[in-house]
Structure 1
Amino acid sequence: RNLWGTGWQQSDGLRGVIVYNTDLFDSATIASLRHHFQTLLEGIVVNPDTHLSALPLLTSEEQRELLQRWNRNSSSYPANTCIHQRFEAQVRQRPTAIALQFGSQQFTYEELNQGSNQLARYLQRLGIGAEMPVGICLERSAEAVAAMLAVLKAGGVYVPLDPGYPPERLDFVLKDAGIAVVLTHKDWADSLQTDTTTVICLEQEWDKIAQESDENLSTPGTADSLAYIIYTSGSTGTPKGVMVPHRAVNRLVCETNYVQIEPSDRVAQVANLAFDAATFEIWGALLNGAQLTGIEREITLSPLAFVTELQQQQISILFLTTALFNQTVSQIPDAFRALKYLLFGSEMANVDRVRSVLQQGKPQHLIHVYGPTENTTFSTWYEVQDVSENATTIPIGQAIANTQVYLLDANLNPVPPGVNGEIYLGGDGLALGYLNRPELTASKFVSAEFSRLYKTGDRALYRANGNLEFLGRTDSQIKIRGFRVELGEVEAVVAQHPMVQTAVVVVREIESDRQLIAYVVPISAIPTERDLRSFVKTKLPAYMLPSAFVVLDTLPLTANGKVDHKALPSPNLAVAREINPTVAPTTSLEASLEELWTQLLGRKQMGIHDNFFELGGHSLLATQLVSRIRDRFQVELPLRSVFETPTIAELAQKITDSSLINRPESLSGRREEVQL
C-alpha cells in the first residue's frame, strides 16, 4: 500500500513512476528495488516458462560479487591444532598463572595440565581411545574442566550431561551416544547406570588417578577429530547430538575479530556445561592464557549479588543469555560498566534494555552475538554503539572470522540487501553433523554450489550497511531463556501421557517472559495439571516444561485443517485444575502476594497453597518475585526462600517472621543449585 507503480504499460514497453512514502523508504532503497525489478522482468522475458520463485533478482555478476563479499572473512588462527595442544602451549608459556578459580579453589595452568594428564591416562586404562565418547555429568567446577581436558588428551570425545536432567533423558543420551564411561559424583551415579556404561565417581577414584604420570600424552589426533557432542532439542520428540570438531572451537576463540581475549583477562563461567555457551567461556579463557572464574548459579540469579561478585572477582569478559541480561539490567542498569566485553544473545534482544545499558553504564564493548550449536556457539556479532529512537531490534551484525553467512532464497540463490532470506552458515565452525542421524544431517547440512552449508531455519535480511537483521524462524523452533526448544519435542512428550489424545504447544509472552503453554485433548477422563506436569517432568529438562496445561474438547482448526493457533484460548480460561478446592487469601499480605504471582505467572486462578514452580514459575521469575517483594514490603529474602517455601501461605509466613524484616541475609552462607 506504500509502494506502487502507475502507468506502466506503454506502446513501446513498460514505463512509469514509482511513488513511495519517504517515512518508510529512502531513495537508495527504491533505486535498488527498481533495479531488482528490472532484473526480474528481464528474466521473465528470457525464461517465460520458469516459475516466478525461481527467477533471480540479481544478475549473474551481482551474485558472484555478493558471494565473494560474503566469503571475504578469513584470518590466521590455529586451524590445524587440537584444543588440548593449544592449551599445552599456554602451559609452557605461563605455567604459574592461574587457570581456574571456582570458589576457594585455584589451579595454575601447570597444575590443571598435570591433573588432566593423570585423568587422561586413567581413562586410557579404561579403554578410552580415538574419538570414543565419554560422559561428563558434573556441576560447573574445576573438576569438570579438568575432565574435559582429560577426555581430549586421551583422544576421546566429551559429552556434557546435566545432572538435573530426568533419568529417562540421561538414559537416552547415554545409549544414543554409545557412552562406555561416565565421569560423575556418587550423588548422581544411580541415574547413570546402564548395562554398557561404567560409572566413575571421581571423588572415590582420585587416589588411583593421582598415581598416574602427570606428563603430557602423545595421543594422535587432528583438528578434524571430534572434540565434543552436545545434545539439543529435537523436533521428532528426542534430542539430537551435534558433533563438533577441534578446529571449530579454535575458530571460535582464537585470533578472531569479535573479541580479543588476553592473558590478563578474567572470563566468567556462568553457563551450564550442557549449554554450548560454556564452550566460549571455558576454551576462550584456557586457549588464550586467561583466567576462568566460576560464579555460582544462585549468585547469577540475584542481580545485586551478581554485580558485586563481578566486581570482586574483577571479571573482564562475560557472556549472558538475553533473558539473564534483561533480568539484571532491569534492576541495575549500570551492572556491567566495569567489563571489558559483555556479550549477549540467544533470543531477540529487548531494545529498551540495551538502550538503558548504553545510557547508564556501557562496558567497553557491548557485543550482540548470534549462532546455532551446529556452527559452534557464535556465528555473527554486532558491537552496539547506539540505539536509535525508532529501533525495534538490535542487528546481529556480520560474520565472525572464518565464518561465512549466506542469505539465500528457497532455490539457494543469494538475495539482495533488504530482501528476506534464510540464513545459511559455512566455514570452519561447522559441526560434522548429527550423531546417528544421517537423514537429518543430509537435510540440514547441504552442499551448495559454493560451499557446504548449514541450513539454520532462521530468517533475516541484510541492511544497506552490511549488517544482518534477524526476523524470526521458518519453523516452530524457539528459544526459552537461552535454550533451544523444538515445540514438536514437547508436544510429542505431552501426547505420550496415557490420558491425552493429542496435544499442541505454543509460546506466549507474559510480563516479558516467554512461557510454554500446552493445550491437550483428553481421551476421556480429564487429567489434572499436576498429573500432566509430573509426567512430563520425568522426560524433559526443566526449561522445556510447559508453564500451564489447558484442557480442550477439541483443538480449533483452520479451513485447511491445521491447528488454528490464534483461536487457542487464554491459559486462564481452561487450566486443568486439581480436584482439591482453591484456597483464597486470608490476609492482606497473602492477597498482595497473590497479586504479584498473578502478574508474573499470567494466571488468575491460584490458591495460597499452590506451588510457584508447578504453576509455571522458574528461577528467573523467582528472582523477579524476590525483587518485587523487596520493593513492596521492604523485606530482603534470599532467592532460596522461594525454592524452600514455594507457596503464598509459606512465603507470607516467611515475610512476617520478624527475624527477616530489614535484615538482609548473606548469600554466602549456603550454596544452592537451581535450574537456570
Structure 2
Amino acid sequence: MDTTVIATRTRGAAWNGWTIPRIRALDENGPENRPFERLPAGFTECPVHTHLVAATAQGPDRIAVEDGRQSFRRGDFLAAVERLARAIAGLTPPGAPIGLLLPKGVLQPLAMASCLAAGRPFVFLDDDSPPTRIAQILSAGRIPAVVVQGFGGPRPAGIPDGVRLLDVALATAEADCHPCPDHPLPTVDVDDPAAILYTSGSTGEPKGIVNSQRALLQRVLQQAEAIHAGPEDAFLPLSAPGTIAGTRECLTALLTGARLCLFDPVKVGLPGLRRQIRSRRVTTLYAVPALFRLLFEGADPNDLATLRVIRLGGDRVLWSDFDLMRSKAPGCLMQVGYSSTETTGAQWFVPPDAPRTGPCIPIGYILPGVAYRIVDADGAPVGAGETGELHVAGRHVALGLWRDGRCEPWTATPDGLGRILATGDLVRDGAEGLVEHVGRVDRQVKVNGRRVEPAELEGVLRTLPGILDAAVAAPATQGNAILVAFIATRRPDPDLAALARAHIRRVLPPALHPVRIHVLREIPRLPSFKLDLQGLLAIDQATTGPLGGERNGETTRPDVNPAEAVGTAWRGILGKRAAASAVSWAEAGGDSLGLMRLHALLEERLGRRIPPSALRADMRARDMAAFLATMTPVPTEAADPRPEVFILPGVLGECPGLASFMREAAGDVRFSCLRYPDWRATPDPKRCIARLVEEATAQVEAACPQGRVRLAGYSLGGPVAAEVASRLAERGREIAFLGILDACIVPVPPSARRSLAQKVRRYADGLDSPIRMLARPWLRRLANRIGFEGMGGIPGRLPGRLRFEVDTEIADLVRSRAYTAWVAAPAKPRLDCRVTVFRSEEARPGVPRDLGWSAVSDRIDVIDVGGSHLAMLQEPFRQTTARLFTTKIEQSLAV
C-alpha cells in the first residue's frame, strides 16, 4: 500500500515528527468472520469507470440503485452512465467542471458516475440552496455546463444564460436522439480533479475542495474492507451525494455490487424511513448522529432487524448513541468515523466493553494511506496524550482548492508524493493510537453534520442596511451545534430580525440559517477586540432560556386535540421561541431535522399517520393545527382493517369539501390525502404535473412499499392519480382501484354563462374571496408577461392576510394551467386497471359521459352522482357520493 512508501520517507530528517498509522485490521471488532470478496490489488490505480464495469459484469440483472420512484439494474445503469458520459465528453471542454442540479434520487449517482467516466470533475448543486448561492458557485468555479432534469423548460433559477444545460435524459436516449452517441470516452488519470465539493468558507465565500479519483477510491477501498461490503448488501446513506460521506457511500455500493437505496429523509419522514429500512432490507446505514437519534428513538426493533452496520460521522458521537443502538438493534455493529472533505481520517468499530472516559466516543484509529502528526500552536509535536492540531500528509489528501476555473494545489510533501493538510481539528492521541476529538482551532462547527463557518453568516449580515456589526455564536445542544446571530444597530427596529432572516434565506443554504437572531446596540468584544463569545452566549441564554428537550417517548394521550399537540410539540422542540404564533416554523428558527422530529411527535401524539409533506417549514403552528384538524384520522397501527386509499386533491389541495367527503367515508375507508409541494417548486405549468406525480409516487411508496395500491383523484388529482398509477404499474405494483372524482380530461367548450355560474358557486362555497377575485386578472396578466417563475417573491412583500390570499391564487393559476396543458397533450398513460369515474351533474356540452377517460383505459365504469363539480362533495350530495365510493372500494376487495 502507499503507506509503505511514506513509511520509508518518514525516517528522513525532512519528515521529523510525522507518524505512520500502525498496521491494524480495518474490520477489527467488526465483521471479522463474515466472508466477502476483497477488491482487487491496485484498486486505487484504476479509474472508477473500470471498477463499475467489473462490478456490473458480476451481476448485470441485479438492482444497482433505487429511490422509490425509479430504479436501475446494473446493466442498464452502466449503459445509461456511458450514454450520458459520451454526451458530456462530446459537448463540454476537456477537464471542465460539470454542475449537477438534480432531484435527490437515482439520477444523482448516475450523473456523478457519468462525469467520472467522461473525465470531468462533478460539482453537486444542492436544490435546497437559494438560486443566488447556485449562481455564486457557478460563477466562482467557472462551470460551463449543468446537468438538469427536463431540458427545454424554463431555465432553473440561479443558472445564468451563458451556462449550457445538459438533460439527464441523454442517459437513456436512443442513438438517433443522442447528440454524440459514438464519442469515445477519454482515458482518465486517477490523479486528475474528479470531485469539487463546496463547503462553507471562512472568507464569506463558498469553498470548493478538489478531490481526485484516487482519493475517492481510497475511501471506497477502506470502507469496503472495513464492513466487508458485497452484492448481498443494501446501502442507505442519509447524507446527500454532494457531501464527501454521501459520495463515499454511493461509490462503495456501486463498486462492490451492493444495492444503493436513496430516500430523502425530509420527504419520506422518520416513520417512512423506518418502513423503507424494513421493506428494502437495508444492511448498511450511514447517518449523522442527530438524524440517527431521531430515527432510532421511536423505532420498532423489527424495522431495524436487517441492519448489520451503522456508520456514524459528521459530528461527535455520544456513548448514549451506542446504548440507543444496542437497545433497538442489538445485533448491529456501530462504526464511528471521522473524516473531512479534504482527507480520510479515522474509524473503528466500537466494542461493547470499551472503556468510557467521557460523554463522547473516540473517533477511532487513523486510517492507513497517510502520515500524520499532532502539533501545538507553534507547529511543534505535542507529547503523548496531549492535545494538538492534527496534520495529515499523503497522496490521498485532496488536491487543493478550486478557484477561477482551476485547482490551486496545497503544499506538497518534501518527496513530492503527496500533499500536507492542517485539518484545524484538535485531537488527543490516546491509548494504543485511539484518537479523541477535542475541538477546533478555529470557529468552524458542524450543524446537523454540515460544515459551517460562522464568518460566512456574519459577512452576509453586515451587508444589510442599518447594521453596524454582526456576530455568530454556536452553542451546543443535545449533541448538535446551532447558530445564533447577533446584529448591532443604532436604532433597534422590531422588524430588523425578521428582515435579516428573510435575507439570509435568500442567499445562504439551510445549514447557515440561524436558530435565533438578537438585535443589540453593540456587539460585546474582549479588550483584544475579539468577539466575547461567552458574553454572547450569556445574552442568548438570558433572553431565550433553555431549549426544549422533549423526546419521542414522552408523549401524552393519543386523543389530544391537534392545536394542543402542535403547541406542545413546538415548545418541546423550539423552546421559548415557539411562543409567537404569527411566525412560521422556519422564521422561528426550526430546521429540517426539527421538522422531521415534529412530524414523528405529532403522529405519536395524535395516534394517526400524517403525510410528511403535510408539514412545511413555511407553516405557522396554527396553520398546522388547522390542517391536522381537517385530516381524516388514519390510525398508525397496521391492524386497522379498513382498506387504504391514497387520494390526490385538486388545485387547492385538501379543500374543505374534500376533507368533509373523506370524513363521511372514514368508517369504511382509510384515506391518506397526499400533499403537493409549494407552487414555487413547480412554477412551470408544463412541468408541474410531472413534479406532482414524482412527489406523490414517493409518498405512496414510502407509506405502502409493497402490495396492492388504491388511488383516487379529485379534479386536478385525476390526471395526477392516473400518472402515479402508470408509474407504479411499471414497477410491478398492482393497482386495485383507481377512482376519478369528476376530473374531465377533454377540452370543454368555453361558455360565459357556465363560467359565471362557477364563480358564483366558488364564492358561495367559500372557495373564493373578494381579494382573490380582484387579484386574479392582475396576476394572470403578470404571469403572461414574466412567467410564474418570477412571481415567487410577490406574496412575501404583502401583509399577512393579503399574502395568504395572493399566494393561494397564484397556486390555483399555476395548477389550473397545468391541468389544461395535460389535457391538451396528445399522449396519455395507458392503464390495464379498471377506472371508475364519478361524474357530477355539472353541464359540459360536447363532453363524453366518461369525461374522456376511455383514452386511458379500456375498462371504464361511470357512476353518476348528484350536484355540481363542487357540490358533489358537500351537503346534501356528499353522503350519497361517499356511499357510492365506498361501495366501489368494497367491490375492489373481492377482486
Q: Going by fraction, where is helix more abundant, 1 or 2?
A: 2
What is the one-letter code of the residue matched to 2:111?
Answer: A
Using the alignment, how far apart are the partners of 2:629 and 2:671 within structure 1?
A: 19
Using the alignment, how far apart are the partners of 2:154 and 2:228 within structure 1?
A: 38
Within the candidate set 237, 240, 244, 1:276 is matched to: 244
The CA deviation at 1:574 is 5.9
Mark the CA change 1:465 to 1:188 in structure 2 (over 3 Å): closer, same or farther. farther
Within the candidate set 302, 324, 333, 2:291 is matched to: 324
The CA deviation at 1:614 is 1.0
Within the candidate set 205, 208, 229, 1:261 is matched to: 229
Using the alignment, how far apart are the partners of 2:673 and 2:45 within structure 1?
A: 44
Mark the CA change 1:62 to 1:199 in structure 2 (over 3 Å): closer, same or farther. closer
Q: Going by fraction, where is strand more abundant, 1 or 2?
A: 1
CA shift digits 1:180-225 (9 cap, x unpaired): 1111134783314324311234358964766458789441221111
Matched, 1:191 2:157: yes
Within the candidate set 148, 159, 163, 2:112 is matched to: 148
Task: State how 1:266-345 maps to structure 2 within 5 Å.
Answer: 266-298=234-266, 301-302=269-270, 304-332=271-299, 334=301, 336-345=304-313
Question: 1:385 corresponds to which residue?
Answer: 351
Structure 2 counterpart SS, 1:339:
coil
Within the candidate set 114, 120, 123, 1:159 is matched to: 123
Using the alignment, how far apart are the partners of 1:644 and 1:352 within structure 2?
A: 29
CA shift digits 1:598-652 (9 cap, x unpaired): 3311325633232111111112112222333344444443332321782222222
The CA deviation at 1:178 is 1.4
Which sits farther off after the overlay, 457-466 or 471-480? 457-466
Using the alignment, how far apart are the partners of 2:349 and 2:513 within structure 1?
A: 34
Structure 1 counterpart SS, 2:156:
helix
Within the candidate set 512, 518, 521, 1:550 is matched to: 518
Mark the CA change 1:108 to 1:499 in structure 2 (over 3 Å): closer, same or farther. same
Do 1:128 and 1:155's aligned partners in 2 also have CA atoms closer than 8 Å? no
Question: 2:57 corresponds to which residue?
Answer: 92
Task: State how 1:34-73 maps to structure 2 within 5 Å.
Answer: 67=18, 69-70=20-21, 72=23
Question: 1:31 corresponds to which residue?
Answer: none
Percentage of pairs with the same residue: 22
Do 2:96 and 2:120's aligned partners in 1 also have CA atoms closer than 8 Å? yes
Matched, 1:248 2:191: no
Mark the CA change 1:77 to 1:480 in structure 2 (over 3 Å): closer, same or farther. farther
Mark the CA change 1:452 to 1:289 in structure 2 (over 3 Å): closer, same or farther. same
Question: 1:398 corresponds to which residue?
Answer: 365
Question: 1:578 corresponds to which residue?
Answer: none
Do 1:258 and 1:400's aligned partners in 2 also have CA atoms closer than 8 Å? no
Matched, 1:457 2:430: no
Matched, 1:353 2:330: no
CA shift digits 1:214-237 (9 cap, x unpaired): 789441221111111110110010
Task: State how 1:77-116 maps to structure 2 within 5 Å.
Answer: 77-116=42-81
Using the alignment, how far apart are the partners of 2:181 and 2:25 within structure 1?
A: 37
Aligned length: 599
Could you list the runs of 5+ residues in structure 2 that have no partner in the other structure? 1-10, 27-40, 545-559, 638-669, 676-694, 700-895
Mark the CA change 1:408 to 1:272 in structure 2 (over 3 Å): closer, same or farther. same
Do 1:299 and 1:667's aligned partners in 2 also have CA atoms closer than 8 Å? no
Question: 2:451 corresponds to which residue?
Answer: 484
CA shift digits 1:137-164 (9 cap, x unpaired): 0022332222222222222111111122
Question: 2:830 corresponds to which residue?
Answer: none
Structure 1 counterpart SS, 2:521:
coil
Within the candidate set 587, 601, 625, 2:574 is matched to: 601
Question: 1:125 corresponds to which residue?
Answer: 90
The CA deviation at 1:413 is 3.9
The CA deviation at 1:475 is 0.5
Do 2:83 and 2:170's aligned partners in 1 also have CA atoms closer than 8 Å? no
Mark the CA change 1:287 to 1:338 in structure 2 (over 3 Å): closer, same or farther. same
Within the candidate set 508, 513, 519, 1:540 is matched to: 508
Do 1:251 and 1:428's aligned partners in 2 also have CA atoms closer than 8 Å? no
Do 2:394 and 2:413's aligned partners in 1 also have CA atoms closer than 8 Å? no
CA shift digits 1:355-389 (9 cap, x unpaired): 221244234421000011011xx421021122546
Mark the CA change 1:201 to 1:358 in structure 2 (over 3 Å): closer, same or farther. same
The CA deviation at 1:547 is 1.2
The CA deviation at 1:88 is 1.7
What is the one-letter code of the residue matched to 1:138?
Answer: L
The CA deviation at 1:251 is 0.6
Do 2:372 and 2:390's aligned partners in 1 also have CA atoms closer than 8 Å? yes
The CA deviation at 1:541 is 0.4
Using the alignment, how far apart are the partners of 2:405 and 2:172 within structure 1?
A: 39
Could you list the runs of 5+ residues in structure 1 that have no partner in the other structure? 1-59, 576-586
Task: State how 1:551-590 maps to structure 2 within 5 Å.
Answer: 551-568=519-536, 569-571=538-540, 590=563
The CA deviation at 1:354 is 1.6
Mark the CA change 1:405 to 1:74 in structure 2 (over 3 Å): closer, same or farther. farther
Mark the CA change 1:297 to 1:632 in structure 2 (over 3 Å): closer, same or farther. closer
Using the alignment, how far apart are the partners of 1:237 and 1:276 within structure 2?
A: 21
Question: 1:9 corresponds to which residue?
Answer: none
Question: 1:647 corresponds to which residue?
Answer: 620
Using the alignment, how far apart are the partners of 1:497 and 1:441 within structure 2?
A: 32
Using the alignment, how far apart are the partners of 1:279 and 1:649 within structure 2?
A: 40
- State TM-score, norm by structure 2: 0.62
Question: 1:365 corresponds to which residue?
Answer: 333
What is the one-letter code of the residue matched to 1:541?
Answer: P
Q: Which has the larger radius of gyration?
A: 2
Within the candidate set 618, 628, 633, 2:601 is matched to: 628
Do 1:572 and 1:604's aligned partners in 2 also have CA atoms closer than 8 Å? no
Within the candidate set 103, 109, 117, 1:139 is matched to: 103
Task: Indicate the RMSD between aligned Cα atoms, in angstroms.
Answer: 3.4
Question: 1:179 corresponds to which residue?
Answer: 143
Using the alignment, how far apart are the partners of 1:605 and 1:125 within structure 2?
A: 54
Mark the CA change 1:509 to 1:415 in structure 2 (over 3 Å): closer, same or farther. closer
Using the alignment, how far apart are the partners of 2:405 and 2:439 within structure 1?
A: 27
Structure 1 counterpart SS, 2:342:
helix
Do 1:336 and 1:363's aligned partners in 2 also have CA atoms closer than 8 Å? no
Do 1:319 and 1:342's aligned partners in 2 also have CA atoms closer than 8 Å? yes
What is the one-letter code of the residue matched to 1:81?
Answer: C
The CA deviation at 1:342 is 1.1
The CA deviation at 1:65 is 10
Using the alignment, how far apart are the partners of 1:666 and 1:259 within structure 2?
A: 42
- State TM-score, norm by structure 1: 0.80
